[in-house]
Amino acid sequence: MAVKVKIPVPLQRLTKGKDEVEGDPGTVISLINTLDSKYPGLGERISEAGKLRRFVNVYVNEEDVRFLKNEETVVKDGDEVSIVPAIAGGIITAISI
């Protein structure tokens, strides 16, 4: 079992079109860094200097990590992580390519 990571549509170009990828248990930031080595560019869209960007939210299961331990929130095998950017119709935001 691994950690399931739901990739939002604007970032799926970086994951070769996949809407869900697998990652390793650990902290949220280590998970993002590991995913970035597999899918280059993903990390900087979500975080900057080890901190999550303010217009992208990360949820572990249904919980917003900002209200847990932020980047240091621990994710376990079987957890589902969702990356959710702010969207507004018809435009490309910073998180897109």
Give residues in contact with another protein (CB under 8 A).
6, 8-10, 19-20, 54-55, 57, 59, 62-64, 66-67, 82, 84, 86-97
Which of 11/32 has CB closer to another protein?
A: 11
Q: How near is the Cβ of 53 to another protein at its closest, in Å?
A: 8
Which of 6/76 has CB closer to another protein?
A: 6
Backbone angles phi, psi at 90, to 5 degrees: 75, 5
Q: How near is the Cβ of 92 to another protein at its closest, in Å?
A: 5
Q: How near is the Cβ of 29 to another protein at its closest, in Å?
A: 19
Which of 2/84 has CB closer to another protein?
A: 84
**Burial of residue 51, with CB atoms counted within 10 A of its CB: 0-12 exposed, 13-18 middle, 19 or more buried:** exposed
